[in-house]
Amino acid sequence: MADIFRFDGKTVVIIGAGSGIGRAVAIGAAQHGAHVGCADVNAEAARATAEAIISEGGTADHAARDITDAAATDRVLDQLASATGRLDGLACTPGINVRKKLLDYSEDEFDRVVQLNLKGSFNVVRSAGRIMTTQCRGSLVLFSSIRSLVVEPGQAIYSMTKAGILQLVRGAACEFGPAGVRVNAIGPGVIETPLTAPIKAQSEWYQAYANKNIMKRWAQAGEMAGPTLFLLSDAASYVTGTILYADGGWLAIDGRFTPPGM
């Protein structure tokens, strides 16, 4: 059974590999035997992750990649896949959030969030899907969120995109499945990453989010590596078109008050 979690002889591309969750997943994939393509809009950050993998005895390539550019996405994925002649897995982690109430949102801010979170995810699914359906194998993992189901003031647009990613995953799973390609999503809860750094800087806000989940804490980026690698691996060979919530029990617990005597 241990072998079904391995990636020996396989090529896995991680988009957003330069930092946070993406970097953790990239290093984890390499430790499980994958040749890792490290892609990030920050070329130096992608290079640094690839070099970290190589320094530990793994193999990796790197490339700068802006997933909002469809042609560039095609080009870079072809480049990373051509290094080994295959693309067995891909995880896409980047996302952006502008926290504002709907009536305060500008058109430019709306476009920025939708451009990266939705259009970027679409570009990745289409680009990787073409390669994987041609070779008749592969696993795609996109990053949604608990916000695909629950929302709070200032999160409407971000939540809309995360729900859209989940539906994109389901649709792609339906279309790619006959070619042997699986498509799934991860739904993180609150994770300590550069994206959430402004919340961490405000102790009351940070603690309120910690208190909302069952584990009473935030997750570290590395805690998203295991769930992501599971969905990418053969251990999840019968899992497609779904979302794995890694949220510390955020969605399971109702409310913040424990009745007396409980």
Has residue 251 been placed in a domain?
no
Q: What is the CATH number of the domain that holds 43?
A: 3.40.50.720
Structural domains in the chain (count): 1
Question: Which pLDDT score is estimated for 30?
Answer: 98
Has residue 147 been placed in a domain?
yes
Choose the most confident range, by mean pLDDT, from 62-66, 81-85, 199-203, 234-238: 234-238
Looking at the whole model, is its pTM more than 0.75? yes
Q: What is the mean pLDDT of residues 185-212?
A: 91
Has residue 250 been placed in a domain?
no
Q: Domain residues for 117?
A: 2-245
Question: Which pLDDT score is estimated for 9?
Answer: 96
Question: Which pLDDT score is estimated for 261?
Answer: 62
**Residue 145 carries which DSSP code?**
-
Is 136 exposed, middle or buried (CB count within 10 Å of its CB: 0-12, 13-18, 19+)? exposed
Has residue 78 been placed in a domain?
yes
Least confident of 34-38, 121-125, 225-229, 255-259: 255-259
Has residue 64 been placed in a domain?
yes
Has residue 255 been placed in a domain?
no
Has residue 262 been placed in a domain?
no
At 65, the pLDDT band (50, 70, 90 cuts) reads confident
Both structure tokens of 214? 């069952």
CA dist 102 and 155 (Å) reads 9
Q: What is the mean pLDDT of residues 99-115?
A: 96
Has residue 261 been placed in a domain?
no
Per-residue pLDDT tens digits for 217-229: 999 999 999 999 9
Catalytic (active-site) positions: 158
